[in-house]
Amino acid sequence: MTLRRTHLVGPVLTVALMALAAAGLTIAWGPAVAQSTFRGDAAHTGVQAGEAPRVQPHVRWTFPTGDRVVSSPAWADGTVYVGSDDGNLYAIDAASGRQRWMHRTGGPVSGSPAVAGGRVYVVSYDGRLHAVDAATGELQWKFATGGERRFEAKGLHGMRPSTQTFSDPFDVYLSSPVVAGGLVIFGSGDGHVYAVEAASGALRWRFATGDVVHASPAYADGRVFVGSWDGKLYALDAASGRELWHAQTGLDPLMANQQGFQSSPAVVGDTVYTGCRDANLYAFDVQSGQERWRFSTGMSWVISSPAVQAGRVYFSTSDSSLVHAVEAATGKPVWQQQASAYMFASPSLAGGVLLQGELNGSLQARDAGSGALLWEFQTEAARVNAGWGLTSERRFNSPMLYPSGWHDAMAIGAAKQSALGSFFSTPLVVGRTIYVGSADGRVYALE
């Protein structure tokens, strides 16, 4: 996302079993069960176990919630789990789309759930990590942090008045927990990364960063990797929370526009990949934190979390509305394709197909090899285009959405943008069915 001169614009199932100890929910170090966590596995590679259709899918079912769905679905034992900004965590029968249960929290559930050991873990804007029974939705325990908040800064994004501290309307996600080593690890708006015992919710450790942590931690080989709004990517010892290294990315002291992590890392081999709002995709050495390469997007935010497979890294941008594939070893471009609107949602790879949601209410499928468009699905809200928020090319009608840089106009514009059915949610693929949430308040099953 960039500041314009006249206005601001915005964003076949294979199951890998985890080793469980005989007592409690102690989970051996290793990746979480495929499909049961954000980005498909604990390393957040973005690779799905299913095979996405290469031809236009139809809607199998839709499930309505009471507010936008920013959360990305998780799947376990025939159930889709997803949060909604209506404050609820939902369990949905994957075959029929019928509700199995609903767990009420005290705030929007804008993070994605993780399922492990018969429990579902999710963070809510009520400032708590909730652990509920996966079969019944009954609360098992909850852990209170120091409280949630959005990233904020004076004159943020050039909003006026410049002396006013504003919360960021584009800080839309909460941290999604990762489960490893008997611990649930997640970030918080209070600026900490927490690790609590999966069985009881007892605090094992917490680590202080310099600002809000809404990126989702990735786990690999006993290490946790997570970015903060302080512009640092941290590597922590997963057992103790001890800092191993951090890498400082760009800062923007003028208006905090080009800084901070919303993207969550992906770890493959000896490299950790992550996007940043400083308009770069980075590759760092897992052991030392040394930067291996960076790919500049030319001032456009990288909110999406990268997907990594077969020697390529796939990611998308905000203002420039580009989908990129680059070499994982060097960061050199392989291909790029132009989309229509800003992209905050993270791409998913499933059977040679790259799935990418856009904020204009479109979900695109592309050939992962070439980037060629295979098909596109639009929400009804996007097709109706109430308020003329989209142009005929399905780009955002920015003068209509963001008529000025004053704070109220920015917040209203962001809400109008979401009302078009924006896809903030990362697609989940199980078998040949795609599950994804939309800001129109629905969860879709496409096949």
Q: Which two tokens stand for residue 9?
A: 């614009």
Q: Give the span between the Cα atoms of 69 and 59, in whole angstroms.
A: 17
| Minimum mean pLDDT range among 28-42, 149-163, 377-391 | 28-42
| Minimum mean pLDDT range among 138-147, 379-388, 423-432, 433-442 | 379-388
Residue 405: its pLDDT value, please? 84
φ/ψ (deg, to 5) at 336: -140, 145
What is the DSSP secondary structure assignment for residue 330, as one 8-state letter? T
Residue 400: its pLDDT value, please? 87
Long-range contact pairs involving 321-329 (C-beta distance under 8 Å, separation at least 24): 321/358, 321/395, 322/297, 323/347, 323/354, 323/356, 323/364, 323/366, 323/371, 324/281, 324/295, 324/297, 325/368, 325/371, 326/281, 326/295, 328/268, 328/271, 328/273, 328/283
For 101, what's the count of Cα atoms within 13 Å in the CB-facing half-sphere?
12
CA 398 to chain centre: 24
Residue 304 contacts residue 315 (beta carbons within 8 Å) = yes
130/386: higher pLDDT: 130
pTM of the model: 0.92
Q: What residues are paired with 160 via a beta bridge?
A: 406
Residue 34: band (very low, low, confident or very high) from pLDDT cuts 50, 70, 90: low
Instruction: Report CA torsion sign: 358, 43, 177, 331.
Output: negative
Residue 58 contacts residue 39 (beta carbons within 8 Å) = no
Mean pLDDT value across residues 68-74? 98
| Minimum mean pLDDT range among 26-35, 188-197, 290-299, 336-345 | 26-35
Residue 322: band (very low, low, confident or very high) from pLDDT cuts 50, 70, 90: very high
Q: Give the span between the Cα atoms of 287 and 404, in whole angstroms.
A: 46
Mean pLDDT (the chain) is 92
Residue 15: band (very low, low, confident or very high) from pLDDT cuts 50, 70, 90: very low
Q: Give the span between the Cα atoms of 381 and 25, in whole angstroms.
A: 42
Residue 362 contacts residue 377 (beta carbons within 8 Å) = yes
Per residue in 328-382, pLDDT (tens digit) is 999 999 999 999 999 999 999 999 999 999 999 999 999 999 999 999 999 999 9
Residue 408: its pLDDT value, please? 83
Per residue in 97-129, pLDDT (tens digit) is 999 999 999 999 999 999 999 999 999 999 999
Burial (CB count within 10 angstroms: exposed 0-12, middle 13-18, buried 19+), residue 294: middle
Residue 96 contacts residue 61 (beta carbons within 8 Å) = yes
